[in-house]
Structure 1
Amino acid sequence: MARVIKAHITGNVWKIEVKVGDRVEEGTVVAILESMKMEMPVEAEDEGTVKAILVEEGKPVKEGEAIVELD
C-alpha cells in the first residue's frame, strides 16, 4: 500500500535527499524545505521504499502537500 510523506510547513523545496528506489527508515530525512530563511528537514514517519518524488527542488510547496510516495 502506497503512503506519502507530506510537507509540514509551506515553503520552497531546497533539496531532495532521496531518490526512487531508496529504502528509508522512520526518521530518515527525505527533503529539506526552506521557509523564512530557515532550513526545515522533512523526515519519513515510517519505513518503506521511495516509489516517487512528487516535487522538484526550487519549487514551492504548501503545508500538507505530498512530497514523496513510499511503497
Structure 2
Amino acid sequence: MQELKATMAGSVWKVAVNPGEAVQEDQDIIILESMKMEIPITAEEDGTVREIKVAEGDFVNEGDVIAVIE
C-alpha cells in the first residue's frame, strides 16, 4: 500500500482518477496548484486507487495524505 502525500502546500486543482481505478507507475493521480504552478502527484508503482482523501478545491498542507493506492 502506498500513501501519496502532498509535496507542498496548495490547492487541489484536479483529481485525475477515481477509487477502484487501476493506475500505472508515474501516472498523474492528483494535480496541486501552488504559486500559480501545477504540481502533479504521481503513483509510485502500479496499483489500484483505494481512496482519494481530497476533493478539487481543497487546501492541503505539505505531508498531508491525499490518496491511497494498493
TM over 0.5, shorter chain: yes
Q: Distance in 2 between matches of 1:46 and 1:64?
A: 19
Give the equivalent residue in structure 2 for 1:31.
30
Identity percentage of aligned residues: 46
Q: Distance in 2 between matches of 1:47 and 1:67?
A: 17
Deviations 1:29-51 (A, max 9, x none): 00110000111111111221001
**Matched position secondary structure for 2:56:** coil
CA RMSD of aligned residues (A): 0.9
Q: Distance in 2 between matches of 1:47 and 1:70?
A: 9
Give the equivalent residue in structure 2 for 1:62.
61
Unaligned runs of 5+ in 1: none
Moved over 4 A (4+): none
Q: Distance in 2 between matches of 1:46 and 1:66?
A: 16
Unaligned runs of 5+ in 2: none
Q: TM-score, normalised by structure 1?
A: 0.92
- How many residues align? The count is 70
